[in-house]
Structure 1
Amino acid sequence: MPAVPLPSPGGPPSSTQETTSLGALSPFGPTPLPVAPDGAGASTLDSRALAAALSEVVRGEVRFDKGTRGAYSTDASNYRQIPIGVVVPRSVDDVIAAVAVCRRFGAPVFSRGGGTSLGGQCTNTAVMLDMAKYLDGIESVDDKARIAVVQPGIVLDELNKVTRARYQIMFGPRPATHTHCTIGGMLGNNSCGSTAQWSGTTAQNVRRLEVLTYDGERMWVGPTDEQQYQEILRAGGRRAEIYRSLRELVDRYADDIRARYPDIPRRISGYNLPDLLPENGFNVARALVGTESTCVTILRAELNMLPEPPSLCLLMVGYQDIAAVGDRVMTAHQFHPYMIEGLDHRLLEYERGRRLNMPALHELPEVGAWLYVKTIGDSLDQARDRAGALLARLQDEGGVIAWRIYDEEAEQERMDKVRDVALGATSRVPGRLDTWPGWEDSAVPPERLGGYLRELRNLLDDHNYDEAPLYGHFGQGCVHTSIPFDLVTASGIGKFRSFVTRAAELVVNYGGSLSGEHGDGQARGELLPIMYGDRLVRAFDEFKAIFDPDNRMNPGKVVHANPIDSQLRLGVDWRPVSPDTHFDYPDDGGFPGATLRCFGVGDCRRRDSGTEVMCPSYVVTHEEEHSTRGRMRLLNEMMRGELITDGWRSTEVHDALDLCLACKGCKRDCPVGVDVATYKAEFLAHHYQRRLRPLTHYSLGWLPLVARLAAPVPFLANAATQTPVLSRLAKAVAGIDPRRSIPRFASRRFTDSFRRRGNRGDGHRGRVVLWPDTFSNSMQPHIAASATVVLEAAGFEVIVPERTVCCGLTWISTGQLKIAEWVARRSLDVLIPYLREGVPVVGLEPSCTSVLRSDLVELLDGDVDAVRLREQTFTLSELLNKRAADFTPRVSTQDGSLPAAIVQKHCHQHAILGFEQDQALMARIGLEPQVLASGCCGLAGDFGMTTDHREVSLACAERVLLPAVREADPTTVVLADGFSCRTQIDGAGTGRGSVHLAEVLAAAVRGQQLGPYPERVVGVR
């Protein structure tokens, strides 16, 4: 692809507009901005007038409401500052217009990408520019020169997905948050990641930046030779003033810069003044990388791209302790690897405690620490040979306890996850103290790493932080850790300050940097004099003042930094309300603790296709309030009672939770296992206490009772819901979208048929209770009938409860928890005789089965029989695999080929039940289906049945599911175990129906040939 000319920057906005000052500010001694009692913004600033002025000129979104501000109140750090407001620009012109308005009002400004900063860079009492929603374009790619021009909001993986597919090039630095971090955020922090061993830091891969100063100067910056410098001076104006001042600054401090900056691969702390030295090309762009939005706003970036590494091989070598791993880093360097990482046994223990990456961890012997090296080669054989040669060298040096070599890409990806989830794995582990950032990414010369690790471990032990793991990018001397700081008591916060101060002194003694990856922000800004001395810190002040003389760009970060123990997310004032709740939260010490689970890493902001997308509504809306993280922020603000003051009655929290589909993807995929579906049910229970509810809470929320009442006269119920005129009336009364179809009631319930017919299995494998959920019993009884045929053929005696049972799902999802508890206890009483005899319970509907396996224990306060039910509940696949392994009916087609099938995995199968057993059973019966990477179908019980939710519901389905169904061959079986999934597929105009796995198994048992619609077992005769 030929190079595309860069767009013209255009004329800068006028810089002569009047500014309403918030207070006299000097470049070298700013007066702190006065803050309102709720932290909502500067008290002298008219935020309403500011919001109105922004709305007049910004085409994007201007949000000054409490809900938005609460959702953006913190990042992944220890700090919390409520923004004045949030602007979501649609274009670069919006950014320029927004900054101009903020300048007129004197309002401070900063930019945000993925919001995952650990140093507090992305939380401030300022106007936040959220670049991630719309400014995510790739503007040009020159594949021959390996250059790309991008907007700041583009996500790293999305950029690389395009450029790797089309041009086999990529942006090299790859932080652990690569699935959702933005290029703008990487530029702000000078991000690195594990691949920086090969690629270098973000700054080292930047060619030019288009930037905007607070006073309105818009310009492209980059390396500047003498001729270019003189041309800039001759042109005059603000740009010339900036360049002249930068040259004077670097001339004044050149000797200090050369003497005091550590010459190490991961020197991220402080401003990049060495890039302004003449020997480094007076590179203004690279000097601005890592300034954390304290100097300029980045509008575009011109990046150097790298060819993909041809072949990689992973070598893992076990040692007695992490310091021994550090001692071997320079040996690994001799083989010029792609990455060199280290991880100690504590990190792996944290992951085992959270049951993360268990298949990978099972492969690793328990040793003190692992050296993790990826060798690179032109071919896989060459990469493997280099790994073998490195292993031999390490074995000669001694100390090797164990080793593993992985040359397959899938194996390497599995092991990569062990390292990628480290931050989440160590943050909120049941039975352990909560850990926090604060000293999480120091860096030293790699050749001195072993000694530093020993002294850092001693320092941690001296402060009783002995549980803190040590791991990181050891090839470049960068050490990560998560420390159990006490950030609530005065003594704990004092110990936190003492530790980070002594740790800063230690790393400087080793010739290192306070930060080797995450930047300074507020967490390390106050400590910079320890590393650089007062004179160079004064140079930082002057550097910022050249671009931002009034200190309006992200004030209080890096220079003139707020104290490291101020604006804490917790702090000595942390005293949340402790409400009575319906669910038990034993791992969190109650509901307030549950709202602190989220620490902000932002995995919920992934947009890529696949079940790892944990938050379907966020993927559709790209709204922070609809991410798992945003919802948790608001729940926490509700518990604090400062910004959100009306507690459970809060409309802001209600609106954020409203688009939660209760898919429970976060419970499975969030690194700390937050469970927004449960928190939403809890919130709704209190929010609507003694108040009228939405109509669907009464109609669909009480569906099991409606189905019970309709059972004697299903034809009357169907007449009311299926005939055109009555159907429209019924939908209006029930609050259902008129374009949705109300499911029909069966002419006879499964339980009624079964009681007439009785069990016909020989029972040589024992008894099982078949759980007659509302959907499989009253609406689609052919599924329960099919399951009965299968279970009896497998040798089980099938039992169906004599009395009506229900898990309470529909009441739980609508927050009617008192009724749900009553229903659950009543059903549990029915099952007690079977549970106490150890009889397994088989569930067919994934959402109902997941309630039996998960929610019921918490709802019933750990009732012993509820625990028994959880342990004795199986899916059909689990039971057949574990207790009837020799039962192998085979599916067949007319031509004898393998049956074609696509599978919509129910979100609760993914999140709670697991899907591995289903896949194993399909393989046993000769079915090799394509499992769609679609996530939630979007209907999600009552969610997609309402007009307000219809658009989001269908958008979730249109991501992957519905296109795949439409494109499938007419002979392909569409498998979907969830009633909601089948309803969404059947009712979305695909022209296709879908079936339950039980129906496929019944067809195999009966020797029927498998087509798109297996012959249904209509009843149990």
Structure 2
Amino acid sequence: MAGLEAALREAVDGEIRFDAGSKGAYVTDGSNYRQVPIGVVVPRNVEAGARAVRVCARFGAPVLSRGGGTSLAGQSTNTAVVIDWTKYCHALISVDPDARTCVVEPGIVLDTLNQRLSGHGLQFGPKPSTHSQCALGGMIGNNSCGASAQAYGKTVDNVRRLDVLTYDGLRMRVGPTSGAERARTVAEGGRKAEIYAGLDRIVTEYLADIRRGFPRIPRRVSGYNLDSLLPENGFDVARALVGSEGTLVTVLRAELGLVPVPACQSLLVLGYEDICRAGDDVPRLLRHCSPGQLEALDGRMAQLMREEGVHLDSLGVLPEGDSWLLVQYSGDSREDVDEQAHSLLRALGRSEKDPDVAFSDDPEREQRMLKAREAGLGVTARPPDDRETWEGWEDSAVPPDRLGDYLRDLKKLFEEFGYDHPSLYGHFGQGCVHTRIPFGLRTAEGVAGFRRFVERAADLVTSYGGSLSGEHGDGQSRGELLTRMFGERLVTAFGELKAVFDPDNRMNPGKVVDPNPVDGQLRLGPAWRPAAPRTHFGYPEDEHSFTRAVMRCVGIGNCRSHHGGVMCPSYRATLEEEHSTRGRARLLFEMLGGHTDSTITDGWRSTEVRDALDLCLACKGCKSDCPVGVDMATYKAEFLSHHYAGRLRPAAHYSLGWLPVLARLSRIAPSPANALLHAPGLSRIGKRLAGVTGERAAPVFARQSFLQWWQAQTQERNGAEPDPADPRTVVLWPDTFSTYFHPSVAISAVRVLRDAGFEVTVPTRPVCCGLTWISTGQLTVAEKVLRRTLDVLRPHLEAGTPVIGLEPSCTAVFRADAPELMPADQDVQRLSGQVRTLAEQLVHHAPEGWEPPELARRATVQTHCHQHAIMKFDADRELMRRARLDADVLDEGCCGLAGDFGFERGHHEISMAVAEQGVLPAVREAAPDSLVLADGFSCRTQIDQGGTGRRALHLAEALALGLEGNLPGRQPERLAERPSPPSRTARWATTAGAAALTAAAAAAAVRPALRPSRHP
């Protein structure tokens, strides 16, 4: 092992990783299986990857090529040297628009490829539901399909040639091969001649078996593509290697066929009383039309979506029925696609006006509907009824004209084994059925039942002339079952093909040929015994179990997407599996133990887990964007609380984690405090001591805090406190950021709320949501802070008074973090139900007749990640619409500052890389006379400090300016009353007040290290 690692480091231009953390991140894929890698190689170029294979061959080490790692049958996990192509080897090498072909490297992601091809009006046709994260190398390995295969076929139908490397070092370019070309190759001798002679021998010996034994259905992905070597199919070696799951060769480059991007599309949705009736109708639909997609979803999936609160807008437009077929048409014009849909309806004797029919030619609406279908795996993976569902029989395929009967027999099999009500959906136009089944994979009895079921299911699908796999491949899930489908002779032929390319069985061994048992190497299994640690958070949605929470991750890999949404900013900046939500979940799973070969052996004290979590921005994007709701921000806080229990923490945990206390201390002398924070020499020393990056300018304390302004206002108004029970009364939450740094936000909110007819009250005793302690894992302190806050708010909680939050991260604490940290506290539950955003209050609860001021302006709007994840942005969109703001709400991901993350030493480069991927360029491109809006303090700070030349406003500030008629014509955000860094003279000011503040701040920073349980 040491010699292999040393040789790889010497020979390969890449990142060579044999550490426990890297192994843990790659220990499994999207399947039920788990195998610890020997090591991980991340080559910086394709040639380096080829050298890595050659080095492994010298040592006899198995090799596993890996793309997005989303395989559901266990193809992407093995005790092998894992070569991850996705970080560096993702080039689009060339495009030939006339020939409609391109050449790519194996690590390029499908969505990225199609985005780069869009200028040519071309795309790669097959589109799996994982299109935002799957790599072309993996698609070639798995022979991926997706919904669009109805029109464009499988990956195998779109591969022209492959540049491949055998384990023993032969590199060759393969594709269709004539008899004369094969003869010349064999005559030349050598390893290539040996391979081609072997292929000729296999085809000759098994010719009749191949022609008879491969089911003639649209979706046969199981087995090797020996049929591509038939004379009538051009003896296409490239296509024979597609779908071989990395067990034969390493793919270095691929020439792909492309198709035009459709000009127009429409979607017809037909309702049925059950999924079997929908299956019955598929042959009739196919006789009358040639759709681009023909998808299905059943009532069970719709029920799960409603229970999980996802894709509700799509469900709202479904026609009557308990199952549905989604028929998409493509064409050159709107008239063309409309006529195709109406022609089918006429042939079926149905009408667009029927209650069980819905028709749309609105592209945005169509995409929402199809995304709801694509979400099937995530929706069914973690049902709200707390059952665990698993892969294993998730993509069988039959002839489309026998689909309805197959579904009935499959449901009978479910009933026989007691697998209650799995959802059935999939690519019905090609007879491919998706499902997830509640196998009992934790007990010997459950695992035995799992094995018996898949054997019976294999016999069932074979009796229908179908395929074990219609999309996901064989891997370990179905490799052992191939004899039931193909028979002994063809499976023997598969073994001979393997021996031709990989005689020593070193390429992804244990898959397809000589496979590991279907019930072996399970990620759980009857011998799995994970730790059950006591935790601070309650995990109420996970049976109060941190272990079950970590197991939410099923490996779909949406956190590895490159565009859109929020998740996962650190992965997008690093392209590192370890810094994806999935990679971190894998390491936490390993940390819990349960296996004798667990890669993480020191539990909460693990430095590998700590390092992986260090670059987690705690943005909570995964809580909303992950299909199964992994909440890595909460897991990170939990881990940090245990990791640092009883020992000193990083300096930033004291300086930034205790920011609310330091901010209150700033009231002693705010101007001298600012001077010290920005004095050139002192600030550098202070940042170093505080664990803050030197590249960041410290935020500036306001001369007058919001609470000081409020107290002055209250004295001037000389009025009594509003009655908490008065329906007009609202509590404005004085968060640290809107109080001590940007008081104009809170002051503006008071003006807008009063204009809307509300009576505003503000807590005058110190309160805090505990956010900064939560994000740094100081959960005991956070709970104490929250309890004191609840004491202050109790009269308002008892009266049901709304609490209006202005800082999204603080509002999110009350909505999500606090109820999980204190799940049994009724006041926390009341607060969670009573806290509202400003927009929610104004849109849903303002007196009838009130309208916001007309701003009549364009606006570029950055949504705070926590708002995106927890509160959502619908009310803000509606409020901006009423205020006549033409809002461009960015879909550019996290701003990169993310609370304390961007201020901590060692994070600046990642913070700015995240910001430059979307937010900062979008702000720079905004029109000079438009508004830039960002409700989050972090977002505003990143925009202010990110070289945009713009200063962002909170929506409350924009509305207040509109009320006052002070919205100017150009760069209005510069007029907001915000503190600026002190002048050069002021920076050198030294006063007794500043000295006192410095001493107090130092004492506050040291105190938690000495007495961590002390109340702040």
Residue 120 of structure 2 aligns with an amino acid whose one-letter code is: Y
1:663 corresponds in structure 2 to 619
| SS of structure 1 residue aligned to 2:513 | coil
- Out of 205, 218, 222, the position equivalent to 2:175 is 222
- Offset at 1:483? 0.5
Matched, 1:731 2:694: no
**1:643-682 CA-partner distances (Å, limit 9, x unpaired):** 2010000000000000000100000100000000000000
- Offset at 1:588? 1.5
User: Contact between 2:275 and 2:424, CA under 8 Å: does it hold in 1?
Assistant: yes
- Out of 185, 192, 215, the position equivalent to 1:232 is 185
CA distance in 1, matches of 2:852, 2:497: 74
- Out of 665, 676, 686, the position equivalent to 1:720 is 676
- Offset at 1:752? 2.3
User: Contact between 1:786 and 1:1017, CA under 8 Å: does it hold in 2?
Assistant: no
- Offset at 1:365? 4.5
CA distance in 1, matches of 2:468, 2:803: 56
Unpaired runs of 5+ residues, structure 1, are 1-46, 893-897
CA distance in 1, matches of 2:849, 2:567: 36
Residue 575 of structure 1 aligns with an amino acid whose one-letter code is: R
Matched, 1:372 2:331: no
1:600 corresponds in structure 2 to 555
User: Contact between 2:320 and 2:355, CA under 8 Å: does it hold in 1?
Assistant: no
| SS of structure 2 residue aligned to 1:587 | helix
CA distance in 2, matches of 1:723, 1:284: 69
CA distance in 1, matches of 2:449, 2:851: 63
CA distance in 1, matches of 2:177, 2:945: 62
- Offset at 1:366? 5.5
2:114 corresponds in structure 1 to 160
CA distance in 2, matches of 1:278, 1:1018: 76
2:849 corresponds in structure 1 to 886
2:461 corresponds in structure 1 to 507
Q: How many residues align?
A: 965
1:246 corresponds in structure 2 to 199
Residue 775 of structure 1 aligns with an amino acid whose one-letter code is: F
CA distance in 2, matches of 1:92, 1:719: 53
- Offset at 1:755? 2.1
State which drifts further: 705-714 or 79-88: 705-714
1:638 corresponds in structure 2 to 591
1:148 corresponds in structure 2 to 102
- Out of 576, 579, 584, the position equivalent to 1:623 is 576
CA distance in 2, matches of 1:463, 1:294: 33
Matched, 1:826 2:788: yes
- Offset at 1:861? 2.3
- Offset at 1:121? 0.2
- The residue correspondences of 1:308-707 to structure 2 (distance < 5 A) are 308-334=261-287, 335-365=289-319, 367-395=321-349, 402-589=356-543, 590-608=545-563, 610=564, 612-640=565-593, 642-707=598-663
1:969 corresponds in structure 2 to 927
**1:148-169 CA-partner distances (Å, limit 9, x unpaired):** 1111111111111111x22111
- The residue correspondences of 1:923-1002 to structure 2 (distance < 5 A) are 923-1002=881-960
**1:744-791 CA-partner distances (Å, limit 9, x unpaired):** 222222112212322689998610000000111112111111111111
User: Contact between 2:269 and 2:318, CA under 8 Å: does it hold in 1?
Assistant: no
2:814 corresponds in structure 1 to 852
- The residue correspondences of 1:60-71 to structure 2 (distance < 5 A) are 60-71=14-25
User: Contact between 2:742 and 2:978, CA under 8 Å: does it hold in 1?
Assistant: no
Matched, 1:906 2:859: no
State which drifts further: 154-163 or 959-968: 959-968
- Offset at 1:808? 0.2
Residue 948 of structure 1 aligns with an amino acid whose one-letter code is: G
Residue 1007 of structure 1 aligns with an amino acid whose one-letter code is: G
CA distance in 1, matches of 2:783, 2:350: 64
TM-score scaled by length of structure 2:
0.93
CA distance in 1, matches of 2:101, 2:335: 31
| SS of structure 1 residue aligned to 2:487 | helix
User: Contact between 1:267 and 1:443, CA under 8 Å: does it hold in 2?
Assistant: yes
User: Contact between 1:133 and 1:622, CA under 8 Å: does it hold in 2?
Assistant: yes
1:202 corresponds in structure 2 to 155
| SS of structure 2 residue aligned to 1:929 | strand
User: Contact between 1:246 and 1:543, CA under 8 Å: does it hold in 2?
Assistant: yes
**1:226-257 CA-partner distances (Å, limit 9, x unpaired):** 12112212222111110011001110011111
- Offset at 1:263? 0.8
- Offset at 1:934? 2.1
- Offset at 1:708? 1.5
- Offset at 1:397? 13
CA distance in 1, matches of 2:222, 2:976: 67
Matched, 1:868 2:830: yes
User: Contact between 1:999 and 1:1017, CA under 8 Å: does it hold in 2?
Assistant: no
User: Contact between 1:624 and 1:630, CA under 8 Å: does it hold in 2?
Assistant: yes
CA distance in 1, matches of 2:978, 2:685: 31
CA distance in 2, matches of 1:962, 1:127: 39
State which drifts further: 796-805 or 347-356: 347-356
- Out of 722, 743, 754, the position equivalent to 1:792 is 754
State which drifts further: 876-885 or 644-653: 876-885
User: Contact between 2:892 and 2:919, CA under 8 Å: does it hold in 1?
Assistant: yes
Residue 261 of structure 2 aligns with an amino acid whose one-letter code is: E
Matched, 1:877 2:839: yes
User: Contact between 1:891 and 1:1007, CA under 8 Å: does it hold in 2?
Assistant: no
- Offset at 1:1016? 4.1
User: Contact between 1:765 and 1:883, CA under 8 Å: does it hold in 2?
Assistant: no
2:1010 corresponds in structure 1 to none
- The residue correspondences of 1:750-761 to structure 2 (distance < 5 A) are 750-758=706-714
| SS of structure 2 residue aligned to 1:404 | strand
| SS of structure 2 residue aligned to 1:207 | strand
| SS of structure 1 residue aligned to 2:35 | coil
Residue 318 of structure 1 aligns with an amino acid whose one-letter code is: G
State which drifts further: 943-952 or 766-775: 943-952
| SS of structure 2 residue aligned to 1:426 | helix
User: Contact between 1:468 and 1:483, CA under 8 Å: does it hold in 2?
Assistant: yes
1:1013 corresponds in structure 2 to 972
2:127 corresponds in structure 1 to 174
CA distance in 2, matches of 1:723, 1:613: 36
CA distance in 2, matches of 1:401, 1:447: 26
| SS of structure 2 residue aligned to 1:303 | strand
- The residue correspondences of 1:184-203 to structure 2 (distance < 5 A) are 184-203=137-156
User: Contact between 1:891 and 1:1009, CA under 8 Å: does it hold in 2?
Assistant: no
**1:682-705 CA-partner distances (Å, limit 9, x unpaired):** 000000011111111001100111
User: Contact between 1:273 and 1:287, CA under 8 Å: does it hold in 2?
Assistant: yes
User: Contact between 1:902 and 1:930, CA under 8 Å: does it hold in 2?
Assistant: yes
**1:870-924 CA-partner distances (Å, limit 9, x unpaired):** 11111111100011153223245xxxxx323211211112111111111111111
2:769 corresponds in structure 1 to 807
- Offset at 1:368? 2.1
